[in-house]
Chains A and B, each alone.
Chain A
Amino acid sequence: MPLKQFISGVAEFSANEVLQLDSEYQTYLQPLSGKSLALTLLPIEQTIQLQFTDSRIDILLPNNRADDVGSEIGSEVDSDCHLTIQLSALSQLRDTNQLTTLIKQDKLDIKGDLSVAQHLSALVNGLDLDLTEILTNKIGDVPAHSIMGTASAVVNYVKYVKQHFDITLGEALIEEKQLVASPLALANFSDEVTDTRYWCDRLAARLAILEKKQLAGDK
């Protein structure tokens, strides 16, 4: 079974289900209707194409195969806007203020109509998913409130356990097993390195002066 198509199918289903949770989703999809956006991820060289209509998003994985004559990455892709981005920079893509920096760092390349990317960003950021309200419409006030209250308590408990675990693990690694240096030891080491560098520089300067004097004496 083609795994990539399975993943894209699940992603497409999930994306459209999430969209439908916001009653205003068509307002955000309208400017994108009939447009497409391709996203090529480097270095894995996988292109994902998003095809928009006024009611849904289709996710395609345009196929490039080695046996295609003259095949290049993304050569099968015909989209209104094509973003090529380093996988490591993907998380920064949501912040539109970072775009110029990413382009300057050669982590992002944009071809075509930039407004498609801007409208997609508006769609992602504009979706108002009030889970309590969605649940209330489906199962009623009291069960929705109980479920959300329980979920919130569970999330807080998980956060507390994680925080506690991080502290315990940190102490075990630093104090008991001594596998990792403590922040204080690290700062002390850093200070010592700075001092050593300072004295080395002073010594080098003194040697240079002495060398100069020696040369002047010889003449």
Chain B
Amino acid sequence: MAENQSSSQPSNQTHFGFKQVDEDQKESMVAEVFHSVAAKYDVMNDVMSLGIHRIWKRYTIDCSGARKGHHILDLAGGTGDLTAKFSRIVGSEGSVTLSDINPSMLEVGKDKLRDMGLVDNIKYVEANAETLPFPDNSFDIVTMAFGLRNVTHKENALASIFRVLKPGGRLLVLEFSKPTSTVLEKIYDTYSFHLLPKMGKLVANDEDSYRYLAESIRMHPDQDTLEKMMQDAGFEGTSYTNLTGGIVALHRGFKY
């Protein structure tokens, strides 16, 4: 698995897509990718997934158990797709914190949510998931949709999330994963490594960023490995659901 590959590398090296880079460099390189795609992020998501990412996100929200008065952290929340819905669910008694390490993504999200008239109960925080700047036991729910694979030290991020969750709170990680069928995997590989970068070039004039996206998906831990990582971070009652044949998986874990 990706994590095993990482552990066989020199300790100060990590992967950036299929490349090996210094750990210190990865954060800025990922930041550069997302700074580059921020403006066209939503359009590209729709084009790349044929709109299915909206269904995956709906499923995540339905599994979140979010209710009025909850305090929710939408980590690596990017352009705020989950935040928008959570904001309406938690109402004025609750709050949603949209957090992203990338200021460009956060800015796009802020503009979008303001245009939707959502201003009262949303906070915007530029933060690194590995060192979250929130007090212990602050949130009822933490979600991370398509963000964890870009984090350099995933175990640190999971530990940090565990710290800021309230007892009884839950973490939902929506992330690309490993297709369960070999036929689907082959089709998916062809799509991601050949078609996706070309679509990136066509729509966003950025082939390299979308090649990194495809590579980073392959380097991300598979379903069972990520579940084990969540358990190691202290999460209990962990489980995952494969969506669209395992192309994406939703992992859940609770802090008791």
Min Cβ gap B187→A in Å is 15
Q: Which of B57-73 contact A (CB under 8 A)?
A: 58-59, 61-63, 65, 67-68
Q: Is there a chain B Cβ closer than 8 Å to A53's Cβ? A: yes
Also in contact, A9 and B58, with CB within 8 A (given A1-B243, A51-B89, A58-B89) = yes
Min Cβ gap A56→B in Å is 8
Is there an interface contact between B62 and A9, defined as CB atoms closer than 8 Å?
Answer: no
Interface magnitude class on chain B: 20 to 34
Also in contact, A1 and B244, with CB within 8 A (given A9-B54, A76-B65) = yes
By beta carbon, the residue of chain A nearest B245 is A1
Q: Is there a chain B Cβ closer than 8 Å to A31's Cβ? A: no
How many residues on A have C-beta within 8 angstroms of the other chain's C-beta atoms? 22
Choose, from A59-67, A120-128, A146-154, A197-205, the stretch at the interface: A59-67
B48-89: CB near A (< 8 Å → 1, else 0) gives 000010111011011101011000000000000000010011
Mostly helix, strand, loop or mixed at chain A's interface?
A: loop
Is there an interface contact between B59 and A5, defined as CB atoms closer than 8 Å?
Answer: yes
Min Cβ gap B25→A in Å is 37
Is there an interface contact between A63 and B68, defined as CB atoms closer than 8 Å?
Answer: no
Is there an interface contact between B89 and A61, defined as CB atoms closer than 8 Å?
Answer: no
Is there an interface contact between A5 and B55, defined as CB atoms closer than 8 Å?
Answer: yes
Of B54, B55, B56, B61, which is in contact with the most chain A CB atoms at under 10 Å from its CB? Answer: B55
Is there an interface contact between A62 and B88, defined as CB atoms closer than 8 Å?
Answer: no
Also in contact, A63 and B55, with CB within 8 A (given A34-B92, A58-B85) = no
Complex CA gap A67/B67 in Å reads 20
Is there an interface contact between B62 and A60, defined as CB atoms closer than 8 Å?
Answer: yes
By beta carbon, the residue of chain B nearest A68 is B237
Complex CA gap A8/B67 in Å reads 18
Is there an interface contact between B59 and A2, defined as CB atoms closer than 8 Å?
Answer: yes
Complex CA gap A6/B53 in Å reads 11
Residues of B within 8 A of A (CB): 52, 54-56, 58-59, 61-63, 65, 67-68, 85, 88-89, 91-92, 117, 237, 239, 243-244
